[in-house]
Amino acid sequence: MENLVFLLMLLFPAGGLGFAWVKWRAAHFAVEAPSWRGRIAIVGLLATTAQVLLFIVFWLWNISIRGWSNNPDLFRIWFVTQLFLLVLVAVCAVLGKASFRRWMLSSSLVLFLNCFFEALSA
């Protein structure tokens, strides 16, 4: 059961982000008023994408250096960057107007929880 929860926590952010991109493509040609709220939502979507890519790159880097204990400064930078991106996505989800806001925010939050649990396991 623990393995299933772990697998779901790893796959949900990527799946939720993919679904958010699909929803954005479906509503891409719709005119939103005011337009700045749509642009803010896109910034949040891009920040969530950056968060997923950062998580993957640093997780692979963690495997190559055999644990975060070998480079605590890099781990601190990774964790602070993930926290910053979570706050940015949360602000964009509140201020932006798009159909994918909930998926974007939930993917970002679960991804940050993955980072937090990674920090606890280090």
pLDDT, one tens digit per residue, over 57-93 is: 877 877 776 666 667 787 788 888 989 999 999 999 8
Over pLDDT 90: what percentage of the chain?
7
> Exposed (0-12), middle (13-18) or buried (19+): which is 81, by Cβ within 10 Å?
middle
- Residue 86: its pLDDT value, please? 92
Dist. CA 18–CA 110, nearest whole Å: 14
More confident residue, 101 or 121: 101
- Residue 60: its pLDDT value, please? 80
- pTM to 2 decimal places: 0.74
- Tokens 């950056």 belong to 50
